[in-house]
Amino acid sequence: MSKPQSIIEARAALESGALTPASLVKQTLENIDQWEESLNAFIETLPEEAQAQAAATSQPGRLAGIPIAIKDIICTVEGHTTAGSKILQNFQALFDATVVKRLKREGAIIIGKTNCDEFAMGASNEYSAYGPVKNPWDLSRVPGGSSGGSAAAVASGEVLAALGSDTGGSIRLPASFCGVVGLKPTYGRVSRFGVIAYASSFDQVGPITRTVKDAALLLEILAGQDDFDATTSAEPVDSYVNECGRDIKGLTIGLPQEYFGEEVHHEVVATVSKAIKQLEALGAKTKKISLPLMSAAVPTYYLLVKAEASSNLARYDGLRFGQVDVPSKKLLEQYLQTRGKYFGPEVKRSILMGTYVLSAGYGEAWYKQASRVRTLIRREFQAALKDVDIIAGPVAAEVAFPLGSKAADPLQMYLADLLTGPASVAGLPAMSVPCGFTNGLPVGLQLIAPHFQEELLFRVGHAYEQATDWHQQRPKLPSAENK
């Protein structure tokens, strides 16, 4: 039979006997072999482990026999967990992250660990110690970051689904740039246990898939309270798959004027505006709204996450995790040499920025003030979402940019989070859905819902997806001369 294009299709083929777990794993490994030389989407593939898992698959789980890729900041007992960093190049986790346990409980097969910006710090996937990931639609362009490997793997057809993490846009931006579906759940919706931390009060694991219904299925499995993560919520987990197919007539969609401003490329605005028109044709109402504090979201975000990152990174010294060989006679000398040699430039920048804003005399002026502004941004979104059911706009101000064009300019790279950062600061669930192309490159429609109302994202996203065919578009395998 033809290759399945979604988890739902793969499940049907497995249940009918048209595919077996072993044949689906074989297909997936063949897909990776075809694309990987061009993309560099994986840091490590796990063929032997995946084949063994396929042979042992017998339970009737919702993901039984489905290969899934895992971003390399998420701990798995299989293979290594490097966080895209040389300082963890030898690290092998002794346990699975909660999200991996929940996938395995439903029969999922772990096919490999995907490339990412080092410690998830980046918007282009050029800061990985294992080389940049390339966008399958145009190998001269970035896939977005930091979950670029996961998005590129799904977009190219290497895998049907992957896990990513989103701190300030690290799922949604790659999903938009690569033309796939990417979901950042509400903060506290999904466990962070076993996930290498960037900024603990922002990080959330979420799915990257080809369809909205696949994302809904994965969130049903991933979501829920976890005794190993005190920040997870006791809010009940809905049947998100059942939301896919519900009518959107009568829903009011808020359109913040700040998401359509002059900073956003006019062709992106035009493409997203067409998508909004399609939602109106499906019966939704639209209302123009304003989020004036959005201009403060990116500086607020970066002050807070760099402060948290500098604290989280203190544990990586080359001694406790993924030991590295740096000969030294004194402990301080060991720390300085190891961290100087094995941390990349963005990680070092994060340590310097974070340490500065937390230092004596500056904590009140910078960190505490940013925390207060965060509260104001959260309240502004909550007030806006009382008048509308959901917020819509672009994911990014532009399409995927050329490799190397921003890597040397941190400020320009940080501004890539201009439209994704606000929802992260507010802790809201948000999703990117493919909504068209500009100059042959994908554009994503961003949907933002109230806290713990992911069902609205799936309801609206699926309705739009079914009325269009953008999610069915696939990049072509590069010819040998273009690799």
Q: Tell me the H-state helices in 139-265.
A: 148-156, 172-178, 212-222, 240-243
Tell me whether residue 1 is in a domain.
Answer: no
Tell me whether residue 73 is in a domain.
Answer: yes
Question: What is the reported pLDDT for 387?
Answer: 96
Question: What is the reported pLDDT for 319?
Answer: 76
- Mean pLDDT over 318-341 rounds to 79
- Mean pLDDT over 240-269 rounds to 97
Q: How confident is the model at residue 479 (pLDDT cuts 50, 70, 90)?
A: confident
Q: How confident is the model at residue 447 (pLDDT cuts 50, 70, 90)?
A: very high
Q: Is the pLDDT of residue 437 over 90?
A: yes
Least confident of 13-17, 251-255, 459-463: 13-17
Tell me whether residue 308 is in a domain.
Answer: no
194-220, pLDDT tens digit by residue?
A: 999 999 999 999 999 999 999 999 999
Residue 49: CATH number of its domain: 3.90.1300.10
Tell me whether residue 356 is in a domain.
Answer: no
Q: Is the pLDDT of residue 2 over 90?
A: no
Total domains in the chain come to 1
104-127, pLDDT tens digit by residue?
A: 999 999 999 999 999 999 999 999
Mean pLDDT score across all residues of the chain: 95
Residue 344 to residue 86: CA distance in whole angstroms: 8
CB 159 within 8 A of CB 111: yes
Residue with tokens 């919702």: 62
169-184, pLDDT tens digit by residue?
A: 999 999 999 999 999 9
Exposed/middle/buried for residue 185 (C-beta within 10 Å: 0-12, 13-18, 19+): buried
- Mean pLDDT over 273-284 rounds to 98
Tell me whether residue 364 is in a domain.
Answer: no
> For the stretch 313-327, what's the b/e string if a residue is b when 16 or more beta carbons lie within 10 angstroms of its beta carbon?
beebbbeebbebebe
Tell me whether residue 447 is in a domain.
Answer: yes
Question: What is the reported pLDDT for 482?
Answer: 60
- Mean pLDDT over 39-55 rounds to 97
- Mean pLDDT over 436-454 rounds to 98
Residue 253 bridge partners (DSSP): 286, 390
State the catalytic residues.
71, 146, 170
Question: What is the reported pLDDT for 438?
Answer: 97
Using DSSP, state whether 56 is helix, strand or coil. Answer: helix
Tell me whether residue 124 is in a domain.
Answer: yes
* Residues spanned by the domain of 389: 7-294+374-482
Q: How confident is the model at residue 361 (pLDDT cuts 50, 70, 90)?
A: confident
Question: What is the reported pLDDT for 478?
Answer: 86
Using DSSP, state whether 208 is helix, strand or coil. Answer: strand
pTM: 0.96
Residue whose C-alpha is closest to residue 62's, from 15, 16, 132: 15
Least confident of 30-44, 317-331, 415-429: 317-331
